[in-house]
């Protein structure tokens, strides 16, 4: 599914929420099912279902060797999805893989809570090394930069045949958020990449999805790693380099003092 264009800002800070990463619901299946698009099967999702929130993510091969959609997940059963450049052929402005996400704020159907009662944070890592450099935003609630998304929206009985989706009406979108508890979509790195970033760069990309109530009294978070080809070596941050250099200088000073004490 496509993403409503908007300007994104780079962020490098992590939110203080534990990121749960495991086979969601013990099956990899989200509640109620995969409701976006057509031909998308349930399964292979990493996530958390704590009774209040169900949050889930998965990586998938978006383009096969013919450049057509491919629902291949190459999932390790924990949090990692692995793909190789030889697995398919992607357009120049799209990554070979995409990531699917699912939010359900009333997975038991007993709370009567809806999507607009919470805030959310999606963080997309654009550092191909094991380090992270996030683009982050609320992927549900409208803002000046994001007045409208084209998510599939519904409840615990919705299917892909009767999901709600809007591409033009902000009022309809707001109405859907106020009366439904499920939202899903499938996105590609090419929808959000920072200026100058090559979306076909090999590496490891971390995707994190979090939800919070309006008072931040309750939160949930889940995270996945998508490995595409070879992961480049991490480059220490400047602060880390300074700490390491300072430590080496300190060790050198200790060694000099020891040598001088022996001479005396």
pLDDT, one tens digit per residue, over 82-128 is 999 999 999 999 999 999 999 999 999 999 999 999 999 999 999 99
Q: Which residues, 6 or more positions from 231, have their beta carbon under 8 angstroms from its beta carbon? A: 128, 129, 130, 202, 203, 204
- Spacing of C-alpha 183 from chain mean position: 14
What CA–CA distance (Å, rounded) separates 125 from 164?
29
The 10s digit of each residue's pLDDT in 154-205 is 999 999 999 999 888 999 999 999 999 999 999 999 999 999 999 999 999 9
The number of beta carbons lying within 10 Å of the beta carbon of residue 171 is 8
The 10s digit of each residue's pLDDT in 52-78 is 999 999 999 999 999 999 989 999 999
């Amino acid at each position: 599914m496509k993403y409503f264009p908007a300007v994104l800002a780079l962020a490098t800070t992590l939110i203080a929420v534990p990121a749960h990463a495991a086979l969601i619901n013990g099956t990899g299946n989200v509640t109620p099912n995969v409701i976006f698009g057509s031909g998308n099967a349930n399964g292979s999702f990493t996530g958390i279902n704590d009774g209040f929130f169900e949050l889930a993510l998965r990586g998938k091969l978006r383009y096969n060797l013919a450049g057509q959609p491919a629902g291949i997940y190459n999932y390790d059963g924990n949090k990692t999805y692995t793909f190789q450049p030889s697995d398919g052929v992607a357009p120049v402005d799209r990554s070979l893989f995409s990531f699917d996400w699912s939010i359900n704020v009333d997975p038991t159907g007993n709370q009567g809570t809806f999507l607009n009662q919470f805030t959310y944070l999606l963080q997309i890592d654009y550092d191909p090394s094991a380090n992270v450099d996030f683009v982050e935003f609320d992927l549900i609630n409208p803002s000046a930069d994001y007045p409208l998304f084209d998510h599939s929206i519904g409840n615990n009985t919705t299917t892909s045949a009767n999901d709600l989706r809007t591409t033009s009406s902000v009022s309809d979108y707001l109405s859907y958020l106020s009366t439904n508890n499920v939202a899903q979509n499938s996105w590609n790195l090419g929808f959000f990449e920072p200026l100058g970033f090559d979306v076909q760069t090999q590496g490891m990309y971390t995707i994190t999805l979090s939800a919070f109530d309006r008072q931040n009294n309750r939160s949930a978070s889940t995270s996945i790693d998508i490995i595409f080809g070879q992961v480049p070596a991490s480059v220490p941050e400047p602060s880390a380099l300074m700490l390491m250099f300072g430590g080496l200088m300190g060790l050198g000073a200790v060694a000099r003092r020891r040598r001088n004490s022996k001479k005396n």
